[in-house]
């Protein structure tokens, strides 16, 4: 049987930008420079935004919309793949259940930490995520992941053969082209002249905001700024405590330019997560010139090596100033290695034998 055209699931073009969506959007544009016409398609929902003009990857817009419920992937995208005899390619920890093809698993957080999912909605997210992990790990043609740590957790949990899992890493997005937006300091003037620690990410339980809340409480002389949007599920109880602390500013979700301004002016970027499959925000912080203080758990030491200051996510008494006094390695080589252009090249090298 001849190789099939690879159909990229374009649901990422309907979502608010986080690390996974940025990877999907930018890697697809880099892949467009590597593939030949007739080898790949980008299949997007009717409500997709900012769909790029591509020269080699054909864009197919279906009439159906994508929303929170996985109807787009499991009904409309899967039907397209089956009817047109395509091989699916998904960036977002999901796949068409009956015909998984080339699929990403960025991490298996929901499988490893079921206790973080408590409400009825949380449990539905947990059930669906674990269903997708299993389908991808057991039946996908290729499983892409973003660290050796995550590869090992997939192998240990699902018995997936090592040769089926390709570590392609993630990478910093095009922060260099984003203009710094200093208007954030007009909206939050208390950050203008006071040194502050900054963190960003989805405000989920694994980001370990309890550590920041306790650390801020123990060190009232330090100012902390926290940016991010609380997820509709897995909302940590520490959010309410953080909002009450006088030395913590909850900025809410910020546009890229304002995030860049905070990264360029913060004393250090802090991420005390107890679980990360790759951990992209510290890489973006390094790209903006900020020192990083991150957890010593899961994938983070593998990715950041001697370029980071490390904290114990179980010990919120840590003096961040003391950590910053320790020497680290300049991140130049790290930033050259972990780029989305390199991610796209690694993906292309893996899928080339499957292309028509």
- Strand pairing category for 58-61 and 40-44: parallel
Stretch 171-190: mean pLDDT: 88
Ordered DSSP codes for 28-65? HHHHHTTSPTTSEEEEE-TT--S----SSSEEEE-SS-
Stretch 227-241: mean pLDDT: 64
> Is the pLDDT assigned to residue 149 strictly greater than 70?
yes
Q: Roughly what angle, to the nearest 10 degrees, separates helices 340-351 and 19-32?
A: 60
Residue 47, token pair as written in the block: 């409500």
> Who contacts 197 (Cβ-Cβ below 8 Å, separation ≥6)?
222, 223, 224, 225, 266, 267, 268, 269, 270, 293, 320
- State the CB neighbour count (10 A cutoff) for residue 221: 7
Name the E strands within 230-323.
248-252, 268-271, 292-295, 309-311
> Who contacts 321 (Cβ-Cβ below 8 Å, separation ≥6)?
none
pLDDT bin (cut points 50, 70, 90) of residue 326 is very high
Percent of the chain with pLDDT over 90: 80
> Who contacts 244 (Cβ-Cβ below 8 Å, separation ≥6)?
none
**Higher local confidence (pLDDT), 307 or 172:** 307
Stretch 131-157: mean pLDDT: 98
pLDDT at 2: 62
Residue 117, token pair as written in the block: 């999912």
pLDDT at 174: 72
Choice among 39-53, 89-103, 158-172, 215-229 with the minimum mean pLDDT? 215-229
Stretch 24-33: mean pLDDT: 97
Stretch 150-177: mean pLDDT: 93
pLDDT at 202: 63
Nearest in space to 230 (alpha carbons), one of 212, 213, 251, 216: 251
CA distance 158 to 231: 27
> Is the pLDDT assigned to residue 201 strictly greater than 70?
no
Return the ∠ at Cα 171 (arms to 195 and 206), rounded to 5°: 65
**Higher local confidence (pLDDT), 76 or 15:** 76
Question: Using an 8 Å Cβ cutoff, are 197 and 267 in contact?
Answer: yes
pLDDT bin (cut points 50, 70, 90) of residue 233 is very low
Which residues pair with residue 7 across a beta bridge?
41, 88
pLDDT bin (cut points 50, 70, 90) of residue 234 is very low
pTM: 0.92
């Amino acid at each position: 049987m001849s190789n099939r055209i690879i159909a990229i699931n374009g649901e990422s073009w309907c979502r608010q930008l986080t690390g996974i969506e940025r990877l999907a959007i930018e890697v697809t544009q880099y892949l467009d420079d590597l593939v030949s016409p007739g080898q790949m398609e980008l299949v997007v929902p009717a409500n997709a935004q900012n769909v790029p003009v591509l020269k080699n990857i054909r864009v197919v817009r279906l009439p159906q919309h994508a929303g929170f419920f996985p109807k787009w992937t499991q009904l409309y995208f899967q039907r397209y793949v089956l009817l047109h005899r395509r091989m699916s390619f998904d960036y977002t920890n999901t796949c068409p259940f009956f015909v998984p093809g080339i699929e990403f698993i960025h991490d298996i957080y929901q499988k490893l930490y079921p206790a973080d999912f408590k409400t009825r909605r949380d449990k539905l997210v947990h059930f669906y995520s674990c269903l997708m992990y299993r389908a991808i790990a057991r039946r996908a043609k290729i499983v892409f992941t973003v660290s050796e740590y995550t590869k090992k957790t997939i192998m240990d949990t699902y018995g997936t053969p090592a040769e089926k899992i390709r570590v392609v890493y993630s990478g910093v997005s095009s922060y260099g082209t984003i203009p710094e937006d200093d208007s954030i300091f007009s909206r939050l003037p208390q950050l203008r002249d006071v040194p502050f620690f900054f963190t960003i990410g989805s405000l989920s339980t694994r980001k370990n905001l309890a550590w920041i809340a306790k650390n801020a409480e123990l060190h009232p002389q330090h100012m902390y700024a926290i940016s991010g949007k609380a997820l509709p599920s897995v909302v940590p109880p520490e959010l309410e405590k953080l909002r009450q602390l006088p030395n913590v500013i909850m900025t809410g979700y910020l546009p890229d330019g304002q995030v860049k301004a905070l990264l360029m002016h913060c004393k250090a970027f802090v991420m005390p997560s107890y679980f990360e499959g790759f951990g992209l925000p510290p890489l973006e912080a390094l790209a903006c010139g900020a020192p990083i203080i991150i957890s010593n758990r899961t994938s983070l030491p593998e990715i950041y090596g001697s370029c980071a200051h490390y904290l114990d996510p179980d010990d919120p008494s840590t003096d961040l100033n003391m950590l910053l006094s320790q020497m680290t390695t300049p991140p130049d080589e790290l930033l050259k290695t972990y780029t989305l252009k390199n991610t796209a090249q690694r993906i292309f090298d893996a899928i080339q034998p499957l292309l028509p």
